[in-house]
Amino acid sequence: MYQILKQIIKTGIKSETPPQADDGMRLIEQRLQQEILDVFGGALAIRQVDAGSCNGCELEIHAVNNAYYNIEGLGIKFVAGPRHADLLLVTGPVSRHMEVALKRTYDATPEPKLVVAIGDCACDGGIFCSDGAIGAGENYATCGKVSNVIPVDVAVSGCPPTPVAILQGILTAISAGRHGAQK
Amino acid sequence: MPIKHPNLKLTRLTDAVPAWTGDITPEYLFEICQQVRDGGGRLVALWGSDVRQQGGGFLLHITLMNESGLVCLNVPLPAEHPNYPDISRIFPAANRMQRAAYDLLGLYAHEGHDHRKWLRHGAWHGGSFPLRKDFDAAASLTHEPEDYPFVQVEGQGVHEIPVGPVHAGIIEPGHFRFSIIGERVLRLEQHLGYVHKGIEKRFESMSVQQGAKLAARVSGDSTVAYAWAYAMAAECIAKVTPSSRALWMRALLLERERVANHLGDLGYLGNDVALSFGFAQFWILKEQVLRNNAALFGHRYLMDKIVPGGVTTSLDVEGKHIIEQECDMLDEQVRILRNIYDEHAGVQDRFIGTGRVEPKLAAQLGLCGMAGRASAQAWDARVQFACAPYDKLDVKMATYRNGDVAARVIVRFDELFESLRLQREIMVNLVHDNEAPALLEKLPANGFGIGLVEGWRGEVMVAIHTGAQGNLTRVHPHDPSWQNWPLLEHAVIDNIVPDFPLINKSFNLSYSGQDL
């Protein structure tokens, strides 16, 4: 126990200032009222769904939980199921094998809910798609970007996006946003 | 020459690792596999290709490994009935690979007793095969998920827990079916393939350099290992050797990937036994490595830094100094943390004896890589088939016999320290210059090349076949998770359900890498 306490004290506090919301990441205008956002902002529960990623984005989502980005310090935590989640954090080009599971997870998440797509593949299908055989950004095994399958509020690009960008995407989703700021 | 057989003529591939290739008719396949198995050899990978447009039928490719090197067997199969003898009786790891070869290409292992689909869940019609050249994607799609026939465990008090595909943590998707009695696991059966993205098909429409980017994203946590294995395979076909500086850089990046992943896993293994201190501490260290990667090489996970022909990054004197300082810092900090883990009764109580894979079972089923070394399977491509620059580094292999979670933790610690030593050695040998890499833009026609790299999880293999225009007609990336997933089913038997996340994490296998 002494060794653990000593190490904790020696390590000190590593947490850094969180980034500001960025309206440029919005795909659609904020749908939720300020009152709800205030509640979310105090304690947001996130369910992460890997819908077909290479596991690269997951590495950075893990990193958001480390002491530097300290997402829990902002009142945001990752939860084990969709039924008590406010926000879905979805990665991957959506594989056809995950299409049903993603839709069911979305349906199981109670309203009001938000969806943030993480990574280039979630934004536009990325490197795995767009061979043109079926439709732009799709192939025999994937449905492409997340918004092809469920509605997406905020999209964070990057391969993988940095933890700061992921945090920014989440904070954007729960911020009021300027009127007409969507792309 | 690794295999001697009267009907097999082997040709040496120009390669960084000792590898041979040869054709063999299906009737001798079983015999040769048995011979390799009897000599202590292993199955590395099994895949197929469609050569009907070249006037042939199909080819089954099997890579075997023994102490002399790798042998890639090409087995010609007729276009009408592409059947071959089931080799999972010799190498149990072949089971899922054979089922995948059927789902994707229609190659059928006759005499086998398990013909359940593996990578096809019902997104495309059974009877249409995506990797066949005449596959019509638009006409083959369906939206009818098919049931998977799990093996039922019967008896009084037995019940099932279905888990997934969406898991409770930040993890890739897959389905686990537990049959339990009380808290005790009687049987675990995995059903994977949920993140099948059509990677192998995608390669076929790419140039050699585009393919490198895709290879680097087969399994994002092993991007360096895949990019190197892919580059090695391409260079094998083109018969070129990258500059010595490029090779030293590749080894540096590979060891940094190993360090980052082992740090992350050691943190999560602490977390999984309720020592969140371990997660906090190890992830601070991991973050520092990632930040140095971003500052020195321009990417936190080192994606796209290794390309066919060379590397796209360099390291100056200042950068070397930062890495040396980082190694010193990690050496000191990880020693402190290892001591805390070792002395913590609660941690050791959960680690020791949990999720055990006995060496005998590991050998029988072909457990490989880091998890294999924790069960006395002394294989490490950096040691047995040391490609440059590992031939100058004298890597010390970490092995342990206990095969439990504790052993997999120990192997990670040992490998982490060894990687720090290797990075320091590399710093001594790496010369700085700003030479532009001699990128490979075109590959020779009708070639075949193979690359094998010991990633942090185990040996990553990439095989490339080129066509008449030097295009990528078939690329097969192979993850060590193919071999190791079935062992996880065995490791959890007789453990309690709450220990599953811990056991699973101690293997930390790739879903994307095997789902392709």
User: Do the domains spanning B11-140 and B243-306+313-442+479-515 agree at the CATH topology level?
Assistant: no
Query: Does the distance separating the beta carbons of B141 and A55 come in below 8 Å?
Result: no
Provide the 10 A C-beta neighbour count for residue B128: 18
Q: In percent, how much of chain A has pLDDT > 70?
A: 92
Residue of A nearest to B172 (CA): A50
For B172-202, write each residue's pLDDT tens digit. 999 999 999 999 999 999 999 999 999 999 9
Q: A120 falls in which pLDDT band (50, 70, 90)?
A: very high
Strand partners for B22: B73
Q: Does the beta carbon of B303 lie under 8 angstroms from any beta carbon of chain A? A: yes
Question: Residue A4 to residues B40, B88, B329: CA-CA distances in angstroms?
Answer: 45, 49, 18
Asked whether the predicted pLDDT for residue B3 surpasses 90, the reply is: no
Asked whether the predicted pLDDT for residue B16 surpasses 90, the reply is: no
Greater confidence, B255 or A43?
Answer: B255
Question: Which token pair is A79?
Answer: 């939860």
Let me know: does B54 contact B469? Beta carbons within 8 Å.
Answer: no
Question: Where is average pLDDT lowest: A54-63, A170-179, B111-120?
Answer: A170-179
H or E stretch including B143? none
Burial of A25 (0-12, 13-18, 19+ CB in 10 A): buried
Establish whether this prediction's ipTM goes over 0.90: yes
Burial of B446 (0-12, 13-18, 19+ CB in 10 A): middle
Asked whether the predicted pLDDT for residue A133 surpasses 70, the reply is: no
Query: Does the distance separating the beta carbons of B137 and A139 come in below 8 Å?
Result: yes
Note the pLDDT of residue A177: 67
Q: What is the mean pLDDT of residues A81-99?
A: 94
Q: In percent, how much of chain B has pLDDT > 70?
A: 100
Q: A30 falls in which pLDDT band (50, 70, 90)?
A: confident
Note the pLDDT of residue B324: 96
Task: Mutate one of B166, B303, B338 to test the A interface: name it (highest A CB count within 10 A).
Answer: B166
∠ CA A50-A55-A59, nearest 5°, is 105
Cis peptide before B389 (omega within 30 of 0): yes
Residues 6+ apart with CB under 8 A from B391: none
Q: In percent, how much of chain B has pLDDT > 90?
A: 85
The CATH superfamily holding the domain B11-140 is NADH:ubiquinone oxidoreductase Nqo5 subunit (3.30.460.80)
Let me know: does B313 contact B227? Beta carbons within 8 Å.
Answer: no
Query: Does the distance separating the beta carbons of B173 and A63 come in below 8 Å?
Result: no
Q: Which domains does chain A have, with CATH numbers?
A: 19-173 (3.40.50.12280)
Q: Does the beta carbon of B301 lie under 8 angstroms from any beta carbon of chain A? A: yes
Residues 6+ apart with CB under 8 A from A114: A32, A40, A86, A87, A88, A153, A154, A173, A174
Q: What is the mean pLDDT of residues B279-288?
A: 97
Q: What is the mean pLDDT of residues B137-160?
A: 86
- Whether CATH 3.40.50.1580 fits B243-306+313-442+479-515: no
Asked whether the predicted pLDDT for residue A180 surpasses 50, the reply is: no
Asked whether the predicted pLDDT for residue B223 surpasses 60, the reply is: yes
Q: What is the mean pLDDT of residues B363-375?
A: 95
Note the pLDDT of residue A135: 61
Note the pLDDT of residue A175: 84
Note the pLDDT of residue B126: 86
Contacts 24+ apart (CB under 8 A), B334-341: B334/B263, B334/B285, B334/B413, B334/B416, B334/B417, B336/A3, B336/A7, B337/A7, B337/B266, B337/B278, B337/B281, B337/B282, B338/B413, B339/A3, B340/A3, B340/A4, B340/A7, B340/B277, B340/B278, B341/B266, B341/B270, B341/B275, B341/B278, B341/B409
How is B475-509 classified by DSSP, letter by letter? EEEE-THHHHHHHHHHHTTTSBGGGHHHHHHHH--
Q: Does the beta carbon of B511 lie under 8 angstroms from any beta carbon of chain A? A: yes
Tell the residue number behind the tokens 């009877």, with chain if given.
Answer: B127
Residue of B nearest to A102 (CA): B166
Q: A134 falls in which pLDDT band (50, 70, 90)?
A: low
CA distance B418 to B409: 14
Let me know: does A128 contact A119? Beta carbons within 8 Å.
Answer: no
Asked whether the predicted pLDDT for residue A182 surpasses 60, the reply is: no
Let me know: does B150 contact B131? Beta carbons within 8 Å.
Answer: no
Question: Where is average pLDDT lowest: A74-83, B311-320, B339-348, B432-441?
Answer: B432-441
Note the pLDDT of residue A132: 53
Note the pLDDT of residue A181: 43
Residue of B nearest to A135 (CA): B138
How is chain A classified by DSSP, letter by letter? -HHHHHHHHHH-----PPPPP-GGGBSS---S-HHHHHHHHHSEEEEEEESS--SHHHHHHHHHTSTTT-GGGGTEEE-S-GGG-SEEEEESS-BGGGHHHHHHHHHHSPSS-EEEEESHHHHH-GGGS--SSSSTT-BTTB--SGGGTS--SEEE-SSSPPHHHHHHHHHHHTS---TT---
- Nearest-CA distance B303 → chain A (Å): 9
Q: What is the mean pLDDT of residues A53-59?
A: 96
Note the pLDDT of residue B187: 94
Asked whether the predicted pLDDT for residue B493 surpasses 80, the reply is: yes
Q: Which of residues 65-124 of B touch A (CB under 8 A)?
A: 121, 123-124
Question: Domain segments of chain B: what residues?
Answer: 11-140, 243-306+313-442+479-515
Q: B376 falls in which pLDDT band (50, 70, 90)?
A: very high
Q: What is the mean pLDDT of residues B4-17?
A: 86
Residue of A nearest to B169 (CA): A80
> For chain B, what is the mean pLDDT?
93
Sheet with strand B472-478: strands edge to edge: B448-454, B459-466, B472-478
Query: Does the distance separating the beta carbons of B201 and A140 come in below 8 Å?
Result: yes
Query: Does the distance separating the beta carbons of A11 and B195 come in below 8 Å?
Result: no
Task: Mutate one of A13, A46, A84, A97 to test the B interface: name it (highest B CB count within 10 A).
Answer: A97
pTM of the model: 0.95
